[in-house]
Amino acid sequence: MFKRFLNPFNLFLKDFSGMASDGSIIVHKNTKNPTKAWTELSLKQTVDKGMPLKPDTPITEDKLRVVCISDTHSKIEIHPEIVPDGDILIHAGDFTNVGLANEVKTFNDFLGTMKHPVKIVIAGNHDLTFDDDMVKNGRENLKKMFGVSEKGFEQLLVKYGVQNVKELMTNCVYLEDAGIDVCGVYIYGSPWQPRFCDWGFNLDRGLECLKKWNLIPENTDILVTHGPPIGHGDMCFDGFRAGCVELLSTIQKRVKPKYHIFGHIHEGYGVTTDGHTTYINASTCTLRYKPDHEPIVFDFPIPEGHVKDELLKITPQRLIRS
């Protein structure tokens, strides 16, 4: 798949379906202008409103209760009561404001109080210090733009006895371009989004984003990204779209997951469906950074041959694609 993607002829075929003749995803001609791209794409798209499960619905042994949150920005720790019980807690990034080690430590401690047997977390653009390239090559920008001084950053790492902030994530499964099998359900997580100011995990629209989406395995049942696809939960307050065109093409044409969980665009909170995939913008914070959006809940049937007891065998770990 990846080798076919690199074929320049296939890459820019003007096929509105989002695929080349050999089945690889192509870059849309209007990918740099997502609002314009959606105007065209929406003519052949289904976007229906989805209905999240009521949090007080009884949990059963034949289904995994999944609780989704995102964009908590160091607010959820003082409101843990808003998170309902479940089997899997998924956080789609932006659990901090700028990725300071003390913010990460506080969030990790919060996760330790949650009773969900499995907690799965990805980073977002606000979790700056999780972006390895930014930490390695963007220290001046971290200090100038976000007040994360090198001295202060290093002192906190020493205080907590770690070499990088990811080591502080001891109460969850941290996914970065990686996935995990949970009771026969494959969950894949990726922190990237189309370039958004000077924040973390930024990629240019089109080819650079598509390279990351090409890493998503086709057996993915639940996809977790920080940013939304075009057309689902991506409408900004000013009326413009922020979603990624190639992410939607990858979801609909190749991977076809049952669920796609994301955040990033706070005002896009809610559930939609295209008839196959259910899209969940789980942003907890509103546009004004108030944690007023309720976690979104759904049940996923446990595949034949698996049982819920397998949850207890999954330990906190950091899965990062090298």
**Mean pLDDT of the 16-37 span:** 83
What's the pLDDT at 8?
A: 37
Question: What residues make up the domain containing 256?
Answer: 37-320
Q: Which two tokens stand for residue 77?
A: 């720790």
**Residue 13 domain-assigned?**
no
What's the pLDDT at 24?
A: 84
> Quick one: which of 112, 98, 97, 101 has its CA closest to 164?
101
**Residue 41 domain-assigned?**
yes
**Mean pLDDT of the 129-147 span:** 92
Tokens 């969900």 correspond to what residue?
Answer: 116
**Residue 9 domain-assigned?**
no
What's the pLDDT at 122?
A: 98
Poorest-confidence range of 9-23, 76-90, 276-290, 302-316?
9-23
Structural domains of the chain, count: 1
Q: Tell me the whole-structure pTM to 2 decimals.
A: 0.93
How would residue 173 be classed by pLDDT, with cut points 50, 70 and 90? very high
**Residue 242 domain-assigned?**
yes
Check pLDDT > 80 for residue 5: no
> Quick one: which of 131, 140, 129 has its CA closest to 96?
129
Check pLDDT > 80 for residue 45: yes
**DSSP alpha helices (H): ranges in 80-203?**
101-113, 132-137, 139-146, 150-160
**Residue 161 domain-assigned?**
yes
What CATH number corresponds to the domain at position 89? Answer: 3.60.21.10
Q: Determine contact, residues 174/89, Cβ cutoff 8 Å.
A: no
What's the pLDDT at 18?
A: 67
Poorest-confidence range of 87-101, 153-167, 304-318?
153-167
Q: How far apart are CA 14 and CA 296, in angstroms?
A: 37
**Residue 26 domain-assigned?**
no
Check pLDDT > 60 for residue 7: no
**Residue 215 domain-assigned?**
yes
Q: Determine contact, residues 55/239, Cβ cutoff 8 Å.
A: no
- Which amino acid would we find at residue 143? K
How would residue 42 be classed by pLDDT, with cut points 50, 70 and 90? very high
- Please tell me the total number of residues recorded for the chain in this structure: 322
**Residue 23 domain-assigned?**
no
Q: Which two tokens stand for residue 74?
A: 């160091």
